[in-house]
Structures are given as C-alpha cells and as structure tokens.
Amino acid sequence: MNAPRRNPALRRDGQTFVKICGLREAKTLHVCCDAGADAVGFVLAAGSPRTISVDEAEALAASLPPHMLAVAVVREGFWAGWPTRAWRGCVQLHADATSKDAAAWREEASTPHAASLARIAAASDTHGLLAWNDVPCVDALLFDGRDAGSGKEHADGMLEQIAALRGGLQKPLLLAGGLTPDSVAAAVRLVRPAGVDVSSGVESARGVKDHGLIRAFIAAARAN
C-alpha cells in the first residue's frame, strides 16, 4: 500500500475535502474514485451494518489510487493490539480524548514505525472537539452526530455553534452527521469546514450505497 499522507483534511486547491464512509465492496469504491472523492472510510467497529474485517479493508484500500486516502473507522475498545498491523492509510477514532484508547493512540503515534500514520479524531459535542484539538498526534477533527451512521441531523443551532468555534481550532475540521446531497451545500456555506464526511446520506437502504447519491453528494459539497 502507498505511504500514508499527513494532514488528510487539506486540499491545495481550496475545494471541500470529501470522504465517503462505510464502503464494503469494490464497485462502490470505484464509483467514489471516479466521482472525485478524496477519501473512503471502512468501518471496523462492530455493530454497524457497514462493518467489514481488517483484512477486507486492507484488500479494498490496496486498490485506491495514490491521491486517495483510506480511513479505518474504529471505536473505543478496538484500538488495543491493532497498531502493529500493516495499515498505511489513516485511522479515525471515535472515543473520549481522555480514555485509555486515546492514551494508547498517542503513545503509538510516538513510535518510529507508525509516526507518519494520519489520524482523525471524532467527537459529537463541542467539549469533545476541544479536547481532541489539544492532542498533538491528531491531524484533523471530525464533528459527527451523537449516533454516528444513523443519518440523524444535528440539533437546531448546533451547526451555528460549530461555525463559531471553527476559527479557534488548531486543526482542520471535517463535518459529518445527517448530511445528504440536498443539505451538504448549505452546511458547507454555514460552517466552512475543511471537508465533509457522509455515510447514510448516500444510501438507498441502511448499509447499501447508492452510486447516484454518491456522485450528487460530491458535486453538491463542492458547489460553493
């Protein structure tokens, strides 16, 4: 697999970075590549209809072109014991910034064999976002809904809070949570994130990606 890329939420051309999450098969991955996605996410956390094995994720990630980022999406309880694997993309961790998993993440980031592994830290509230903002090994922050992958929109006023907070963040911000092809352009205009992340918003059924919605989402995210 290609060497990892740091600062995964940045694009040099100023366009919105787009990640399509929850991929499970090669055909959809190829659609994401063709439609211009910057990253694809593979859910390794248990309990999701989108969950795949590490071996499956590694096989899919190996087929990505060099400019695209492969993101392993993990939750608290998964991280221990996995850092020694050969994953060379990015890891997105959904966990409390003060948890044992977060501590292990920071410790592993300081070791030579994985020092270049890109990291996205996810939070569903402003407190968690600010806590991760102070962690040196984190390359980007993801603000997600409280029930990741559910497709539920953020509570009224939450996007405005994030928009007000964004200027004080030290790291690039990715916005997720209830985004769809119909809502993403307005969300980008309001929050001005470095990028956006979608899973259920481009599905025809839970866990089933719709190729037309993927294309529409990417186009809408960059329409501003």
Distance of CA 111 to the CA centre of its chain: 23
Q: What angle do CA 201, 204, 210 make, to 5 degrees?
A: 80
The residue segments making up the domain with residue 87 are 17-221
The arithmetic mean of pLDDT across residues 67-82, rounded, is 83
Q: Is residue 122 part of a domain?
A: yes
Residue type, 47: G
Residue (of 126, 130, 132) closest to 99 by Cα position? 132
Q: Is residue 91 part of a domain?
A: yes
Query: Average pLDDT of the chain?
Result: 87
Give residue-wise pLDDT tens across range 4-42: 555 665 777 889 999 999 999 999 999 999 999 999 999
Q: Is residue 12 part of a domain?
A: no
Q: Is residue 5 part of a domain?
A: no
Lowest mean pLDDT among 45-54, 108-117, 142-151: 108-117
Q: Is residue 88 part of a domain?
A: yes
Q: Please name the residue that has the structure tokens 């795949």.
A: 52
CA distance 63 to 91: 18
CA distance 110 to 49: 33
Count of domains forming the chain:
1
Residue (of 115, 90, 63, 82) closest to 172 by Cα position? 90
Cα 80 to Cα 28, 103, 185, 186, distances in angstroms: 30, 10, 38, 38
Give residue-wise pLDDT tens across range 113-147: 555 678 999 998 999 999 999 998 899 999 997 76
Q: Is residue 7 part of a domain?
A: no
Q: What is the dihedral of CA 52, 11, 120, 183, to 10 degrees?
A: -70
1 pLDDT band, cuts 50/70/90, is: very low
Q: Is residue 6 part of a domain?
A: no
Q: Is residue 11 part of a domain?
A: no
Element containing residue 118 per DSSP (H, E) = strand 118-123
Instruction: Provide the total of helices (H) and of strands (E) in the chain, helices listed first.
Output: 7, 10
Return the structure tokens found at 132.
Answer: 């991760």
Residue (of 122, 161, 114, 162) closest to 138 by Cα position? 122
CB 79 within 8 A of CB 93: yes
The arithmetic mean of pLDDT across residues 177-189, rounded, is 95
CATH code at 149? Answer: 3.20.20.70
Looking from the CA of 168 toward its CB, the CA atoms found within 13 Å total 11
